[in-house]
Structure 1
Amino acid sequence: MSNEIYNFEAWINTVEPLPGESISHFLGRFERANLLTGYQIGKEAGVGAIVTRWKKLYLNPFPTQQELEALAKFIEVEVEKLTETLPSKSITMKPRPIKLCASCYGEQSYHRIEWQFKDVMKCDRHNLRLLTKCTNCETPFPIPADWAQGECPHCFLPFSTMAKRQKQFSQ
């Protein structure tokens, strides 16, 4: 019998950010693909618990270049792609309530960072008012990192189905 020692390098399932995807939704997909928590990701990346704040869309203070580089290295994603999951520093975010365009979500099921911009109340693509709660039971939406099933966590109505009750935006 051999007494060889095997060195297994740590591996992760690479997850690429989607166009316009929010940092919260992206981190949630990465967590699920790798069976990790935000805390574990932050610890392994060397940035600490700050990742759990980003999952909640709390971006004050704004992520530093060094934090983004460390996280990008750990999750094996280009830092530029990771940066695209964040708003530009000149845009004011509103982390609550979580907003959703159910029509967009029905087309591509992920949370867009632009929906959380403070001054954004409508979807420019569909000219629909953004939703802030379930159209069936009125439960506020959870953070996008927790959108594993794409449905209301209370009544289980799929987000895409909510588009039927999404109102046209009028000024």
Structure 2
Amino acid sequence: MEVENIKPWLFRVQPYQGESLSHFLGRFRRANDLTPTGLGKAAGLGGAIAKWEKFRFNPPPSHQQLEALATVVGVDADRLAQMLPSAGVGMKMEPIRLCAACYAESPCHKIEWQLKVTQECDRHKLSLLSECPNCGARFKVPALWMDAWCQRCFTPFVDMAKC
């Protein structure tokens, strides 16, 4: 048996409705114990994964790049494209923003929260948070949200809805 011909298998991760690509990539990488570099190599995308996790979409991912990523993550390229900001829509790379009430209902970062035109949650009519209301720490990029709490004081995101 030739070891070179054995293909690695990966755990599949289903995207949430409205989830940002950054958050999805982080969840997929953690489920498969991959680094951004490891996922980039598996998809043949080099350092693109690390850029996308930080919302650096200039230039935006091409359809060919999304197809390559889709092959590895097992999610259709068109579905991955839905996790990106729409063409021509301004986006904030920083600060990372959050509606804690939405997060309590569906534990994921929504791409709409990073759009420049979005100042509050349409559903809950709450201002988007850009820092922990308990300690003032800014939120890390969603790809790093593995415990769903403030990285400094450990206040759970769902508890921030009360603020």
What TM-score do you get using the length of structure 2 for normalisation? Answer: 0.96
Letter in 1 for 2:157: F
Aligned to 1:17: 15
CA RMSD of aligned residues (A): 1.1
Question: 1:160 aligned to 2:132?
Answer: no
- Residue 5 of structure 1 deviates from its aligned partner by 4.8
Aligned to 1:79: 77
Count of aligned positions: 162
Aligned to 1:111: 109
- Residue 9 of structure 1 deviates from its aligned partner by 2.1
- Cα distance in structure 1, aligned partners of 2:15 and 2:79: 7
Indicate the SS of the match to 2:130.
coil
Letter in 2 for 1:151: W
Aligned to 1:131: 129
Q: Pick which of 9-18 and 146-155 moved more.
A: 9-18
Can you give the 5+ residue segments of structure 1 that lack an aligned partner in the other structure?
Answer: 166-171
1:98 is aligned, of 83, 92, 96, to 96
- Cα distance in structure 2, aligned partners of 1:107 and 1:19: 11
Indicate the SS of the match to 1:128.
coil
- Residue 122 of structure 1 deviates from its aligned partner by 0.2
Identity %: 48
Aligned to 1:140: 138
Question: Between Structure 1 and Structure 2, whose CA radius of gyration is higher?
Answer: 1
What TM-score do you get using the length of structure 1 for normalisation? Answer: 0.91
- Cα distance in structure 2, aligned partners of 1:93 and 1:72: 23
Aligned to 2:38: 40
Can you give the 5+ residue segments of structure 2 that lack an aligned partner in the other structure?
Answer: none
